[in-house]
Amino acid sequence: MTRRSCALYAAGVVCALLLVAGIGLIVAQTFRTFMYNRLKKEIVLVEGSRVFETWKKPPPPVYMEFFFFNVTNVKEFLEGAKPVVKQVGPYTYREYRYKDNVSMVENGTMVSAYNIKSFVFLEEKSVGHPAEDYITTVNIPAWAVMNKVKGSFWKSSMVSIWMNSVGSGIFTNRSVEELLWGYEDPLLARVASSSPEVETTFGLMYKKNGSDDGEFIYHTGEQNYMDYGRVKTWKGLSQLKFWRSNQSNSINGSDGSAFHPLLDKNERIYIFTPDLCRSIYMEFEKDVEVKGIPAFRFTPPRSVMASKEENPANEGFCVSPKNCLGTGLLDVSPCRKGAPVVASFPHFYLAEDKYVNAIDGLSPQRTHHQTFLDLNPTTGVIVRANKRAQINVLINRIAGFPKTRILNDTIFPVMFINESVVIDDASAARVQKLLLIVTLVSNFPLIILGLGIIMLISFIILFLRARRQKNEVKRIVFTKPSYATSAEDDTSYSPVSDKEKDDSQNGTYIGLTAKADPNA
């Protein structure tokens, strides 16, 4: 067997082995399954895991932007005109967050932590200074007190007198710093003189700088990767007590800082947020890319805060059966000590048109007012996020308070926030490296199959070339030289001398001469 034949047979054998192995591994998904199982074991909330330290101290910078709605026609509004507001902001703060008192509980199957947040003002990213800029807005402490005593003639009359004596109206003019971080309200101070449990200081972010939201206990994800980062209890509760149904009181999903790996476009992402006193869900919207990292964008659909008519599952969020707000709003007064606070998306995005049309100066836009999460589907890592929410106050007529007698029911916007984060370059590089490893290992069968195809092409070329050369050999015709004669007449032997004739060995003197022509 020639070397060429050996090479041909070897190429055929290698080609067959590579093709069979490649196809078999692709069908069995062996390498992909191995890599995904590895990810499930690595992405867990236990000491020494790949993600534990970054979960405790997230490296990407988080920014909190505050936008206020300044009321420009208070006098006209109190006389029955439509309110006019002007958006002022942003007032931007760098948000530093980390998890404190982290400890493993329940035999290491759960992890306990407190989420600490602190804020530092960034003047270069703001429109002004919070200590110098003043905003005219709804007097939330006054509305909270009025709602607390409504239904009691004597208490309402007393509070009305107190409001007049301390100069507390239904609107107030305060600095941004006071509205955010707190000021001592004269009406609350007057109420506290007879009710010591009442807090005299009010601020939209009061006691939220350098504080926590209470103890969280999380699933580590070690037993089931789908449970990675999922909240088990908050403040010792596995069920809330604010709402009217078990479904509404359920604590579902993570706290928004961690999501399980291997995300699917068809699943719902649940997030429990103490600010809204409830869990919300997000659904896939589109594919995006951030710093070269592919991601799925998840965003809350309209159904999250739809009315009970649009989404019967939301009926439990109604404060009372007869007092239920429309689509796009959530009455959070049950977890705000009865204060008439209503949550929504900024500018009443995804809400009914009647709420937008009731206020001049609002213009809901998806680009600026949508909440979304961009998650890498392989690792579950947040690569970009914008959490946007608006604080509103329900103002209406309240018996016993003459200043409210001409007011119509209005959801009045006070402020909205935009909490944003984009993955930093160092974290992005680590994620890209991990994704490259996952891609290479998962697609290794394709590499084997590709080599098999290359070997198949080489085998075909060698086979065709060998066959062509064999056919050429068969076509060769051997012919005699042009100077040759007939078979027996070409030459003759004749002795050179007579002596040679007598040589019994036929002599050694043999000459090759032409045969004589007999006709000569």
Average pLDDT over residues 339-360: 95
Query: pLDDT digits over 214-250, tens only?
Result: 999 999 998 899 999 999 999 999 999 999 999 999 9
Residues forming beta bridges with residue 375, ordered by sequence position = 296, 382
CB neighbours of residue 369 within 10 Å: 22
Greater pLDDT, 10 or 496: 10
pLDDT interval class at 324 (50, 70, 90): confident
> What is the share, in percent, of the chain residues with pLDDT greater than 90?
62
CB distance 64 to 180 below 8 Å: no
pLDDT interval class at 462 (50, 70, 90): low
* pLDDT for 107: 86
Rg (CA), the chain: 43
Of the candidates 190, 146, 151, 204, the residue with the CA atom closest to the CA atom of residue 170: 146
Average pLDDT over residues 317-338: 87
What is the full DSSP assignment across 31-97?
HHHHHHHHHHHHSSSSTTSSSHHHHHS--S-EEEEEEEEEES-HHHHHTTPPPBEEEEEEEEEEEEE
Q: Over the chain, what is the mean pLDDT?
A: 85
pLDDT interval class at 488 (50, 70, 90): very low
Q: Rounded to whole angstroms, what are the CA distances from 221 to 41, 113, 379?
A: 9, 15, 13
Phi, psi of 356 (to 5 degrees): -70, -45
CB distance 380 to 276 below 8 Å: no
Of the candidates 95, 119, 122, the residue with the CA atom closest to the CA atom of residue 385: 95
E strand map for 325-482: 330-331, 341-344, 372-375, 382-395, 410-422
* pLDDT for 280: 95
Of the candidates 335, 296, 306, the residue with the CA atom closest to the CA atom of residue 319: 335
CB distance 153 to 140 below 8 Å: no
* pLDDT for 413: 97
CA distance 512 to 352: 124
Q: Categorise residue 110: left if φ over 0, alpha if ψ from -120 to 50, beta otherwise.
A: beta
Average pLDDT over residues 462-479: 62
* pLDDT for 104: 93
Q: Please say if the pLDDT value at position 323 is more than 60.
A: yes
Of the candidates 121, 67, 133, the residue with the CA atom closest to the CA atom of residue 93: 121
User: Which residue in the block uniquely carries the two structure tokens 């065709």?
Assistant: 464
CB distance 161 to 356 below 8 Å: no
Residue 412: alpha-carbon gap to chain centroid: 32
Greater pLDDT, 223 or 24: 223
CA distance 411 to 342: 8
* pLDDT for 405: 86
> What is the share, in percent, of the chain residues with pLDDT greater than 70?
78
Q: Please say if the pLDDT value at position 357 is more than 60.
A: yes
Phi, psi of 142 (to 5 degrees): -65, -45
Q: Using the Cα atoms of residue 393, residue 396, residue 398 and residue 403 in order, give the sign of their dihedral.
A: positive
* pLDDT for 487: 46
Greater pLDDT, 120 or 4: 120
- Classify residue 19 by its DSSP letter: H
Greater pLDDT, 50 or 172: 172
Q: Please say if the pLDDT value at position 489 is more than 70.
A: no
* pLDDT for 507: 46
CB distance 429 to 60 below 8 Å: no
Residue 194: alpha-carbon gap to chain centroid: 50
pLDDT interval class at 335 (50, 70, 90): confident
Average pLDDT over residues 238-267: 93
Structure token pair of residue 520: 């000569």
CA distance 65 to 57: 21
pLDDT interval class at 520 (50, 70, 90): very low
Structure token pair of residue 159: 């509070």
* pLDDT for 29: 55
* pLDDT for 6: 65
Q: Please say if the pLDDT value at position 368 is more than 50.
A: yes
